[in-house]
Amino acid sequence: MKKLSIVLCFHEDAGQVNKETIRELTHLIQKKAHMLTLLNLKDKTKETIMNELSRVDLVIAYGGDGTVHHVLQYVLQCDKQPMYAIIPGGTANDFARALHMPLQPVKAIESILKLKTTVVDVGQYDDRYFLNFFGVGLVTDTKQAVSVADTKATLGRFSYYLSSLQSLQSPETFQLTLTSDTKNYQGNAIMVMVGNGQYTGGVRAFFNQANVNDGKFDVLIIKEISAQSLLEMIKTNITPNTESLEGIDYFHATELTIETTPNKPIDCDGEDGGETPAKLFIQKHALTMITGEKSEG
């Protein structure tokens, strides 16, 4: 097997990234790489990042979901697209979990260096790409509460989501017009989630049956429903039998348009994603990623 050119991307102020772990990862990667570049994303220009990523065989993002999302934007713009891999270093590590990647960084790099690959779908709206989910409504409300309280480090993001849900007696509704290639909806809603991966906040909450390479979005519309009822549904993994759940629409689509009144903030892979309206479509098998074994991590 030929030795690879590799870029290890990280942000020194993000997630659980630390210098000692980076040194250990570097030692392990150098055994397999003929060229290794350490790329600290802090204060790097877009041009610098693109130049580094465009000339290698493999890009590894070490960090949380925000770092994975940030690096993804550049990987997909490379003329000769490199393989992409994740070393978990955050709170939720959602897409790393979807790829069965060990959550301990050293074990993750050992798994990555086996170079077992899969092709995954990528969601897109405007010029923004996402691997895991796109959300509007209650998911952004609870995320803002997490950011204000800075509690996710101890409870985990989704644990805090659940705590926030319990405290919301009357979730805010908005007018939603959603059109897709499979189903349309117009009416009140408290949340829309469009998923590619199975995990949200480190647990299989909304999209227990999602498949990262089936060429389809999993779409979930939560209509007017109490926060407590929603909480109970989430606890029991709501997506397998949504046909029997009042107040919920769950379906698959490959493209959709979401319009809201008023315009609503977008949560894209846990990052701020602008505001509605948005037109989404899925790029089937758009990215080659390194995966772990199902028995690992």
- Residue ranges of domains in the chain, CATH in brackets: 4-115 (3.40.50.10330), 133-283 (2.60.200.40)
**Statement: residue 153 has pLDDT above 50:** no
Q: What is the pLDDT of residues 170-210, one digit of tens each?
A: 678 999 999 999 999 999 999 999 999 888 776 676 777 78
Per-residue pLDDT band at 80 (split at 50, 70, 90)? very high
**Statement: residue 97 has pLDDT above 60:** yes
Q: What is the pTM of this model?
A: 0.87
Q: What percent of the chain has pLDDT over 90?
A: 65
Which pLDDT score is estimated for 279?
98
Per-residue pLDDT band at 227 (split at 50, 70, 90)? low
- How large is the average pLDDT for residues 83-88? 97
- How large is the average pLDDT for residues 138-164? 53
Which pLDDT score is estimated for 245?
63
- What HEC string does the chain produce? CCCEEEEEEECCCCCCCCHHHHHHHHHHHHCCEEEEEEEECCCCCHHHHHHHHCCCCEEEEEECHHHHHHHHHHHCCCCCCCEEEEEECCCCCHHHHHCCCCCCHHHHHHHHCCCCEEEEEEEEECCEEECCEEEEEHHHHHHHHHHHHCCHHHHCHHHHHHHHHHHCCCCCCEEEEEEECCCCEEEEECEEEEECCCCECCECCCCCCCCCCCCCEEEEEECCCCHHHHHHHHHCCCHHHHHHCCCEEEEEECEEEEEEECCCEEEECCEEEEECCEEEEEEEEEEEEECCCCCCC
**Statement: residue 147 has pLDDT above 50:** no
